[in-house]
Chain A
Amino acid sequence: MGKTKWIAALGITTMLFGSVLAGCGGDEKSEQANGGSKQGEKVEVTLAGWGGNPSEQKLLQQTLDDFEKKHPNIKVKYEVIADQYMDVIKTRLAGGQGPDVFYLDAFEAPALIETGALEPLDKYVTDEFDVNDFEKPMLDAFKGEDGKIYGFPKDYSTLALFYNKKMFEEAGIEVPKTWDELREAAKKLTKGKDVYGFGVAPELARLYYIAESKGGKVVTDNKASFADSKVVEALQPIVDMHLKDKTAAQPNEVGATWGGEMFGQGKAAMVIEGNWAIPFLQDTFPNLEFGTAEIPTINGKKATMAYTVAYVMNKDSQKKEAAWELISYLTGKEGMKTWTSKGYALPTRKSVAAELGFDKDPLRAPLVAGAPYATVWQNGTNLPIIVNNFNNQFVSAFLGERPLADALKEAEKTANSEIESR
C-alpha cells in the first residue's frame, strides 16, 4: 500500500514538473525552429506598431499585402500595441521577445540607439533604395552618434494653425499671420468661458519651437537649459494669454482630452495641431467648417514642429534579411506611396511627396509648407527626462501658481540632477 502511494506521488509530481518545464521550454524551441530562414521555407517577420484609425489600418494592411505578394517567401505578422507602446517594446526587447521590425518615434530614438538594441541598417542599403531621396532632417533623427542609420522614417507630420471659419467670419477677422496678430485675434474670438480664442497644449512637444524662437535653447549639450531668460521670454505670452487675457485654455479646462476635440466641439476657435487632426475632424465633426494655415511667424521667422516615426530592426532578430526586405519595401518609393496616399501622414521621400501633390491640397498645403523649416522633435538621449520635468512645472506656471521663470528654473535643476545621476 505504502509503496504504491509513493509511486503515485512520484508520478504525479514528475508529471506536474514535466508539464511546467515543457511549458517553459516549448516556446523557445519552436521559436528557433521558425528562426532559421532557410531557402524556400516561409519566413514569418513580426512587425509591431501602434494602431491608427481604421482607414489608416486599412492602408497599412494594403501595403503589407502588396509586400507579401512580391515576396511570397515572407509572411508578415502585424501586431498592434494599443497602449503604452514604448514601455511594452522596451520590456519585450529586454526579455528577448522583441518584434523583428517596429515603429520608433524620433523622440525615443537616441536613447534606444545608445543601448545597442537596434540593428544599424547601412550595410543593407542598396543604390536602388536611394537614401538621398529622404528629407534630411527626418533621416538625421535616426542617426546614431556613430553616424550609422538605425531607422528609415516612414512618414512625418508638422503642426499648422487650425481655425474655425464660422467664428472668424462672425468676428470679422483675418487669419493671423504673426503671433501678435494671433493674440489679438484670440481676444476677439473669446466668449467668456464658452469659447476660447486659442486652445493650447501646455507641453514641450508642442511648444519647443516657440521656446527657442527668441534665440534661447531648451537643450544644451544633452542637458536642460530651458530656464534661460530668452526661453522664458518666448514662452511668457502663452502663459499671459491664459492668465491675463483669459483667451487661451488647455483642453482639460473645457472637458476635452486634446486640442482636436476641443476645437471640434467649438470650445476653441484656433488650435495648433498636426495632420492627424484633419481626418479626425472630418469624421467626428462633419459639419465643422475649418481651415488650416501655416503657424503665425514669431519675430518674423517661420517655425513649426515636425514629428517623425521610423521602422527599425531589432538587433536580436533571427530573420534580419527578411526584416530588411520589409523595411525597404515599407519605406521604399512604392510602399511609401501606398501608405501615404490618403494623406494621414506626409511622405518623407521627396519624390513621393512630389508625386502625390499634397502641397496643392488646401488643408494639407500649410503642413507640407512647414517641412523645410520645422524643428524635428528629437534632441539627444536625455530629452525624455527633460520633457517630463518641463511639462510638470510649466503647467504650474500656466495655471498661475507661480511665475514662469521660477517654475522653469526649478524644473531645469530637477531635470539636470536626474540626468547627472543616471
Chain B
Amino acid sequence: MKQTLTKKMWRETGSAYLFLSPALFVLLLFIIGPIVFAVFLAFHKVQLLGTTSFEFVGLDNFARIADDTRAKIALWNTLKYVAIVVPCQTILALVLAATLNAGLKGEKFFRIVYFLPTLTSSAVLTLIFMWMYNQNGLINHVLEAVGLPTYNWLGDPDVALNAIMIMNIWSTAPYFMVIYLAALQDIPDSLYEAAELDGADAWQKFWHVTVPYLRPVTSFVVVMGLIGTFQLFDQSYIFSAGSGGPNNSTLTVVLLIYQYAFKTLGTMGYAAALAFALAIIILIATLLQRKLSKEESLY
C-alpha cells in the first residue's frame, strides 16, 4: 500500500514537472539566463561588437562607479524622484480612493475618468505631455491665465525633472487608487459605527480607522511605487531624446545604464555593474520600507 502511494506520488510529481517544463524552459532561457549573464558581464570588460572579447576585471567596474560624476548625478536625480513621487502618488491614490468610496453622486463616472491615464502607454503619455509642456503649450497658457509664472518645462534644467514627476504622479496614482478602492470596500462598517458611537467625526474616522486598516495595502503600494520609480526610464528618455539633458537634469540610473550599454561602445560591462548596483539599491530600499512599516499582518 505504502509503496504504491510513493509510486503514485512520483508519477504525479513527474508529470507535473513535465507539464511545467515548457514554462521552466522559457523561464530559464529568458529570465534566469539573462540575469546570470548580466552578473557575469558586471565583472568583465566586454566588447560585443566585431571581435568579441571578455576580459575579467574583478570589481573594477564597481570601483569605477565611485569616480563617475554622471553616475552620481543619475543616482541623485533618481533618489530625488523617488523621494517625491512615491509619497505623493500614494497619498493622492488614497485620497482619490477615499473620495470615490464616500458614496458621492456620479461615482462610477469619476472612477472611469480617474483610471483613464493608466490605460495610456507611457510613451504616448510622455509625447502628449511634452506637447502640453511646450513653451507656448497648454500648461503655460493655463498658468498665464491664472496669473502664475510660466516655465520652459522642457529646456530648463531646474524644472525638467519636476515636469516628469508631475506627469508620473498623474499617471500612476490612479492605478494604486484602484488597489486602495478594493481594500476600502473591505473595511467592515461595524468599525465605522463603533467610531461614530465614540463621537468621531469624518476626519477622525478616516485617520483612525481607514488609514490603519489600509496599512498592509499601503505597504504594497509603496513597495511597488519604489520599484517602479527607481526604474524610471521611458519618460526621461523620451523627454530628453535619450541624452538625459538639459544639463543632466533628467538623467536617471536606468537611462545611464542604457547609454553605457548601447550608446558608447565597449562599456557593456560597466553598464551591467550599474544595473547590478541599482538592483541592490532597490532591494535595500524595499527591505527598509518593510522594516519601517513593521507589520504584514491584517487586522
Contacts and interface: CB of A to CB of B under 8 A. Distances in A.
Contacts of B136: 254-255
Q: In which size bucket is the chain A interface? A: 35 or more
Given A252-B155, A384-B264, A391-B245, A94 B48 contact: yes
Given A115-B50, A391-B245, A395-B246, A414 B19 contact: no
B135 A399 contact: no
B152 A253 contact: yes
Contacts of B51: 115-116
Given A16-B22, A90-B49, A384-B263, A255 B135 contact: yes
Given A401-B247, A421-B67, 4 more contacts: A86-B263, A116-B49, A116-B50, A421-B270
A1 B49 CA distance: 55
Contact of B245 (A6, A94, A395): A395
Interface in B133-166: 134-137, 152, 154-157
Contact of B11 (A2, A84, A315): A2
A111 B50 CA distance: 11
A20 interface: yes
Contacts of B48: 94
Contacts, number: 109
B248 interface: yes
A8 to B, nearest CB: 9
Contact of B263 (A87, A112, A422): A87
B265 interface: yes
Q: Give the 7 A-B residue pairs with the shortest CB-CB distance, closest first.
A: A116-B50, A117-B50, A115-B50, A255-B135, A252-B155, A94-B48, A115-B49
B236 to A, nearest CB: 14
Interface string B42-60: 0000011111100000000
A392 B50 contact: no
B15 interface: yes
Nearest to A89: B49
Interface of A: 2, 5-6, 9-10, 12-13, 16-17, 20, 84, 86-87, 90-91, 93-94, 111-112, 114-118, 250, 252-255, 315, 384-385, 388, 391-393, 395-396, 399, 401, 413-414, 417-418, 421-422
B157 A13 contact: no
18 contacts: A9-B19, A13-B19, A17-B21, A90-B265, A93-B50, A115-B51, A116-B50, A315-B50, A388-B263, A391-B245, A393-B247, A396-B247, A401-B157, A401-B247, A417-B69, A421-B64, A421-B270, A422-B264
B243 A391 contact: yes
Given A13-B19, A93-B49, A396-B247, A252 B154 contact: yes
B157 A414 contact: no
A219 B30 CA distance: 42
Contacts of A9: 15, 18-19
A20 B64 contact: no
A393 B68 CA distance: 16
Contacts of B216: none
Contacts of A115: 47, 49-51, 265-266
A421 B18 CA distance: 49
A414 B105 CA distance: 58
Q: In which size bucket is the chain B interface? A: 35 or more
A90 B46 CA distance: 14
Contact of A84 (B21, B156, B242, B245): B242
Interface string B15-49: 10011011001100000000000000000000111
A399 B157 contact: yes
A254 B264 CA distance: 32
B267 interface: yes
Looking at chain B's contact residues, the main secondary structure is: loop
Interface of B: 11, 15, 18-19, 21-22, 25-26, 47-52, 64, 67-70, 134-137, 152, 154-157, 242-248, 259, 262-267, 270
A84 B123 CA distance: 15
Contact of B15 (A5, A87, A421): A5
A253 B135 contact: yes
A118 B154 CA distance: 38
Nearest to A13: B18
Nearest to B137: A255
Nearest to B49: A115
Contacts of B135: 252-255
A142 B281 CA distance: 43
Nearest to B60: A421
Given A414-B70, A418-B68, A13 B22 contact: yes
A6 B13 CA distance: 12
A9 B266 CA distance: 46
A252 B152 contact: yes
A414 B256 CA distance: 14
Nearest to B153: A252
A388 B259 CA distance: 10
Contacts of A20: 22, 25-26
Nearest to A88: B262
A94 B41 CA distance: 15
A90 B64 CA distance: 24
A112 B50 CA distance: 8
A112 B265 contact: yes
A315 B49 CA distance: 11
Contacts of B49: 90, 93-94, 112, 115-117
Nearest to B265: A111
A17 B244 CA distance: 43
Given A115-B266, A391-B245, A399 B156 contact: yes
A422 to B, nearest CB: 6
Contacts of A395: 157, 245-247
* Among A9, A315, A401, A413: residue with most chain B CB under 10 A: A9
Contacts of A86: 263
Contacts of B15: 5-6, 9
B248 A392 contact: yes
Nearest to A108: B265
A232 B11 CA distance: 78
Nearest to B136: A255
Contacts of B134: 255
Nearest to B47: A115
A109 B26 CA distance: 38
Contacts of B152: 252-253
* Among A115, A315, A417: residue with most chain B CB under 10 A: A115
